[in-house]
Amino acid sequence: MQTLVTDQPEEAARHLNRGETVAFPTETVYGLGADALDPDAVAGIFRAKGRPSDNPLIVHVSSPDQISEVAQEIGDDARRLIERYFPGPLTLVLNKRDTLPDIVSAGLPTVGVRCPAHPQAAEFLRHCNHPVAAPSANVSGRPSPTDWQTVEHDLDGRIACLLRGEPSTIGLESTIVDCTTEPPLLLRSGAISLEALRELVPDIEVATSCRKGETPKSPGQKYRHYSPEAEIILVETSLKNLPTQPPAAWIGLSTPPAGATKSLQCRDLNEYARVLFGFFRTCDAEGIREIYCELPREEGIGRAIRERLVKAAG
């Protein structure tokens, strides 16, 4: 398949409306979209990514009004979160409508819904005839792409169209809150922090990551994720010297240790989030064997960074 690269949201939407797969930028990471109401089109996403079929997709809407096309029984907590954070980097798990194909929700009775704030994404979604099912636009298991070149690297020739935009400003995937449970559960941390969510919904709990034998609340949690080829080594405090032979890299907020082949000192947590997945990708391209990652404090977006690092370390 020939992958068309375009800057035009309307042209990208024409492809999607023909039942094809289209990658597009969002403020979190790039997504790989298909018409959520067309099961054959959605099957194309799973094929292109090599994604396991039991891992459900997030459905993207152009405005909160569109939520009722895919979800129902929206409670008070969900309403408050929608009012405050849609459009934005937040996904809400809601009860799905029967008309939403099972392939999107991987057979679950629920659906994750998100309304991106990114201007190009918003324009693209407005030109799509229906809500758009979209996981991150990477080959399954790799770090999510935060720029169009990475999408092209992973998916060129496997998708119909790539809407080219600026690099993602947040760099980590959306916060996911399950609003179908009592109390609501934080399934994945993101730029909208637990502290901020609790200002609107004080009783939100953090989901315990899936234990053996239990059905994971977020099916994606059981898969290896965000992983570069290099080994990830987590460090709690600043290092003076790299305790290993090169080629090894370091990323964090402190002064970089001596002896690193490559290092990236981030000014703050937002920059750490924005550059992390790109750093993983560059390290792989440069043949780095080990990446030392400084764990940030578990507050604000620091919680989301820690979550990704712990998963990437396996």
CB of 134 to ligand TXA, least distance (A): 5
Binding mask 74-103 for ligand TXA (x = CB under 6 A): -----------------x-x----------
- CB neighbour class for 172 (10 Å; exposed up to 12, middle 13-18, buried from 19): buried
Q: Using CB under 6 A, which of 21, 62, 66, 110 touches ligand TXA?
A: 110
CB of 33: closest distance to ligand TXA in angstroms?
A: 8
Q: Is 189 annotated as a binding residue?
A: no
- Work out which of 22, 163, 176, 264 binds ligand TXA, going by CB under 6 A: 176
Residue 224 in marked binding region? no
Nearer to ligand TXA, 56 or 252 (CB): 56
Nearer to Mg ion, 175 or 263 (CB): 175
Of 12, 22, 45, 57, the one binding ligand TXA (CB under 6 A) is 57
**d(C-alpha 33, C-alpha 20), whole Å:** 9
Q: Which is nearer to ligand TXA, 78 or 248 (CB)?
A: 78
Tokens of 184: 């609501």
**What is each CA distance from 40 to 17, 24, 163, 193, in whole angstroms?**
12, 19, 21, 36
134 is in an annotated binding site: yes
C-alpha angle 192-197-186 in degrees, rounded to nearest 5: 80
> Closest Cα partner for 207 from 164, 197, 199?
197
Q: Which stretch binds ligand TXA (CB under 6 A): 61-69, 124-132, 217-225, 245-253?
A: 217-225
Alpha-carbon gap, residue 23 to 12, rounded angstroms: 9
For residue 136, state whether it binds ligand TXA (rule: CB under 6 A): yes
Residue 21 in the binding site for Mg ion (CB under 5 A)? no
* Comparison of 144 and 263: residue with beta carbon closer to ligand TXA: 144
Three-class DSSP labels, 154-200: HHCCCCCEEECCCCCCCCCCCEEEECCCCCCEEEECCCCCHHHHHHH
Distance CA 79, CA 73 (A): 10
- The annotation status of 114 as a binding-site residue, yes or no, is yes
Q: What gap in Å lies between CA 209 and CA 221, rounded to an integer? A: 7
SS3 content of the chain, % helix, strand, coil (to 5): 30, 20, 50
Q: Could you tell me the sign of the dihedral formed by the alpha carbons of 129, 133, 137, 143, in that order?
A: positive
Residue whose pair of structure tokens reads 């290896």 in the numeric block: 224
> Looking at beta carbons only, is 140 or 261 nearer to ligand TXA?
140
- The residue among 263, 287, 254, 210 whose CA lies nearest residue 54 is 210
Binding mask 110-149 for Mg ion (x = CB under 5 A): -------------------------xx-------------
Residue 139 binding partner per list Mg ion, ligand TXA, none, with a CB distance cut-off of 5 to 8 Å that depends on partner kind? none
Which one of ligand TXA, Mg ion, none interacts with residue 48, CB within 5 to 8 A by kind?
none
| 105 binding ligand TXA? (CB under 6 A) | yes
End-to-end CA distance of the chain: 34
Closest separation in Å from C-beta 43 to ligand TXA: 15
| Site residues for Mg ion per CB under 5 A | 135-136
Binding site, annotated residues: 28, 51, 55, 60, 110, 114, 134, 136, 144, 174, 188, 226
| Site residues for ligand TXA per CB under 6 A | 26, 28-29, 31, 55-58, 91, 93, 105, 108, 110-112, 114, 134-136, 173-174, 176, 187, 218-220
